[in-house]
Amino acid sequence: MNGTLKFVQGNEACVEGALYAGLKFFAGYPITPSTEIAESLAYRLPQIGGKFIQMEDEIGSMCAIIGASLTGSKVMTATSGPGFSLMQEALGYAIMAEIPCVIANVQRGGPSTGLATRGAQGDVMQSRWGTHGDHAIVVMTASNNQDVFNITIEAFNVAETYRTPVILLFDEVMGHTRERLIVPEKDEIPLVERLRTSVKGGVDYHPYLPREDGRLPMSDFGGVHRYNVTGLYHDMWGFPSENPAVVDGLIHHLTDKIRNNVHTITQYKEYFIEDARTILISYGSTARSALHHVLNRRKRGEYIGLLELQTLWPFHGDLIREKCKNAELVVVTEMNLGQLYRQVKIAVDHPERVFLANRVDGVFITPTDIKNMLRLIQGRGV
């Protein structure tokens, strides 16, 4: 790959990815361990004529990026647990009004102020169900800087394709790990620009009338078409409606557009799954240790593999079932009390073969931790 070699933190890799994807507007509020994203963009965005604003809180940040996105810009905010909690209501608004945006949540230990400077993966379920009401959401993650860069670009592409918020669920360890990153030349990675309406100004434009393929061509808000945007259930004009058929149609449109595309949206990596008797399933920073362990054991002839999920939601249960069908042991490795583990258990043919190898004490899971936990699970003692 051609490009510029850099030595950066995960948070900066995220910034590089966002700028590569065409980010033009960022609003945020400082919080450890995500702050470097805001600091870096405060510097970089105005250099390309983009805009940065430090809002009065995370609620305002989320609202400001939604407003900016509507006018046609690619937008993003970044935060961690406490701030992510504050964003939930506006996140639901972006889902309802179908406004593309990217939210990076660099996770720390929770609940509450929790562990500000320690890695954790406790927001897997919050990112799925944090905002109220039935809805679909896309959540992505990665385990090394190059992948953080790539998945950030993918997050923007998915947000624009499906007109949806996309959450990047990183964590403190990933955010602060320094390693190499190659930023490819322009045009090497395909970018998705939002689908814009071909309806001319002065002609009736229905902002919320999906095409046959379910997509909604947008008109930049404040441009040639005047229309209404609301977080209430709405008709094709974007005007509030309580008509049961309209409500039913909209909630299904909002969830189906993600669910029906789970195959296209899902990204994952697999290592030695083919003949593996033991499969580790992991994501984000913990997948680094899991991979390390797998490589170690493979050298010793053990039939072990790793399935690294990069898309957590929509959850691709069929994929998990298929990959795990021949495994004697499936071990989910994560830094929480089993948030993804429970999903995996539901998905596979043999839930009794699924185990959890976790840490929730603020200490990063090392390959040795995984080795020891596997021995315990296998009844071999440490």
Partner 1 sequence: MAIKDYIRERFFPHIWCPGCGHGMVLNALLRAFEDLAISKNEIVMVSGIGCSARISGYVDVHTLHTIHGRALAFATGVKMSRPELNLIVPMGDGDALAIGGNHFIHAARRNIDITAIVMNNRIYGMTGGQYSPLSGYGTLATTAPFINIDHAFDVVELAKAAGATFVARTTTYHVKQMSELFKEAILREGFSVIEVLTQCPTYFGRKNKAGSAVDMVKSFKDNTTPVGSKAKLESPGLIERGIFVQKDLPEYTREYDKVIERAMKKR
Binding site residues, partner 1, CB under 8 A: 24-25, 27, 43, 46-47, 49, 51, 53, 55-57, 59-61, 63-73, 75, 89-90, 93, 221-224, 226-232, 237, 239-240
Q: Return contacts of 344-353, CB within 8 angstroms, 24+ apart.
A: 344/281, 344/320, 346/317, 347/315, 347/317, 347/318, 347/320, 347/321, 348/320, 348/321, 348/324, 349/321, 349/324, 349/325, 350/324, 353/324, 353/327, 353/328, 353/329
Our CB check for partner 1 shows the closer of 64 and 287 to be: 64
- Rounded least distance, CB 86 to partner 1, Å: 11
SS3 2: coil
Of 306, 241, 229, the C-alpha closest to 274 is: 306
Our CB check for partner 1 shows the closer of 90 and 309 to be: 90
- Rounded least distance, CB 84 to partner 1, Å: 17
- Rounded least distance, CB 239 to partner 1, Å: 6
Our CB check for partner 1 shows the closer of 197 and 230 to be: 230
- Rounded least distance, CB 264 to partner 1, Å: 29
Given CA atoms 123, 338, 344, 119 in this order, what sign does their dihedral have? positive
SS3 201: coil
- Rounded least distance, CB 302 to partner 1, Å: 52
Our CB check for partner 1 shows the closer of 10 and 207 to be: 207
- Rounded least distance, CB 219 to partner 1, Å: 10
SS3 339: helix
Our CB check for partner 1 shows the closer of 13 and 90 to be: 90
Strands (E) across 252-328 are located at 268-271, 278-282, 304-309, 311-313
- Rounded least distance, CB 361 to partner 1, Å: 36
Cα–Cα dist 176/344, whole Å: 28
For the chain, the straight-line distance linking the first and the last C-alpha, in angstroms and rounded, comes to 43
- Rounded least distance, CB 59 to partner 1, Å: 6
- Rounded least distance, CB 344 to partner 1, Å: 35
Our CB check for partner 1 shows the closer of 55 and 191 to be: 55
Our CB check for partner 1 shows the closer of 24 and 128 to be: 24
User: Does residue 271 contact residue 230 with C-beta atoms inside 8 Å?
Assistant: no
User: Does residue 40 contact residue 12 with C-beta atoms inside 8 Å?
Assistant: yes
Please report which helix (H) or strand (E) contains residue 213, including its range.
Answer: none
Cα–Cα dist 86/106, whole Å: 14
- Rounded least distance, CB 47 to partner 1, Å: 5
Strands 329-334 and 101-107: unpaired
User: Does residue 348 contact residue 342 with C-beta atoms inside 8 Å?
Assistant: no
- 3-state SS of 23-58? EEEEEECCCCCCHHHHHHHHHHHHHCCCEEEECCCH
Our CB check for partner 1 shows the closer of 57 and 349 to be: 57
Our CB check for partner 1 shows the closer of 225 and 297 to be: 225
7: left (phi over 0), alpha (psi -120 to 50) or beta: beta
Strands 165-171 and 101-107: parallel
Our CB check for partner 1 shows the closer of 236 and 377 to be: 236
Q: What are 92's two structure tokens? A: 């639901």
